[in-house]
Amino acid sequence: MTDWRRSAGQPLHVHGGTPRDADACAHETRCAARGETARIRRWAASCAAVLCFAGLAGCSVLFPSGEKVKWDEMTLAASDQANNDSPIAVDVVFVTDKTLLARVAELPASKWFTVRGDLAATFPDSLHYQSWELVPGQRLVVPGDKLRGPRVAGVFVFADYPGPGAYRVRVERFNGRLVVQLGDNAFSVSSVK
């Protein structure tokens, strides 16, 4: 700390024009140093607390939860009599939020196809999906780069068959090839390395 008197050429121990006791100057210097040290310690403790809280909040940024979808490709294949010889809609649903994952896991396909637009608008950061419609006998190969996105908590495939039934499959594997086989009245999903 610079004193203006030192730069003016006056001795530091002079106050008001009269010499001061050297012990008093030493005592004030020690007290000032202690005060400066205490202030530095408080500042360091504050910085450490802020970094600790930022670190805890940032764990999800540094180490995000979920898995990365790394499929090489997805094959959609409809049998010749798929959906009673009618076109069938298929959605692949990517969910990034665990709470929303539980809600989607309970939906049958008939409900999913009714509420999917509302869910995607309500939870734009937590849910997205891709849709296709296949006619009987059609085979479609989707490149893996079209299916990549953020880390996911889960992925579902929904097929819009008429009648009662879940027509929903949860995908358990996120690498290799994904094969969706659409049969007459049901479908299957398999992962191939």
Domain at 81, CATH number: 2.60.40.4150
CA gap 33, 132 in Å, rounded: 73
112 and 161 in a single domain? The answer is yes
Q: Which domain holds residue 167?
A: 70-192
The 8-class DSSP code of residue 144 comes to: G
Answer yes or no: do 150 and 78 share one domain: yes
What distance in Å separates the CA atoms of residue 96 and residue 85, rounded to the nearest whole number? 35
What's the pLDDT at 40? 77
157 in the same domain as 103: yes
From the number of C-beta atoms within 10 Å of its C-beta (0-12, 13-18, 19+), residue 140 rates as middle
Crossing angle (nearest 10°) for helices 109-122 and 98-105 = 150
Residues 30 and 123 in one domain: no
- pLDDT, one tens digit per residue, over 89-128 is 999 999 999 999 999 999 999 999 999 999 999 999 999 9
Provide the strand spans (E) within 96-174. Answer: 127-134, 139-143, 154-159, 168-171
pLDDT at residue 38, as a whole number: 73
Confirm whether pTM is higher than 0.75: no
Number of domains in the chain: 2
Residue 64's pLDDT is 53
Check whether residue 56 and residue 112 sit in a common domain: no
Q: Which residues of the chain have pLDDT under 70?
A: 1-35, 43-65
The predicted pLDDT at position 56 comes to: 45
Residue 83 CA to residue 76 CA, distance in Å, equals 14
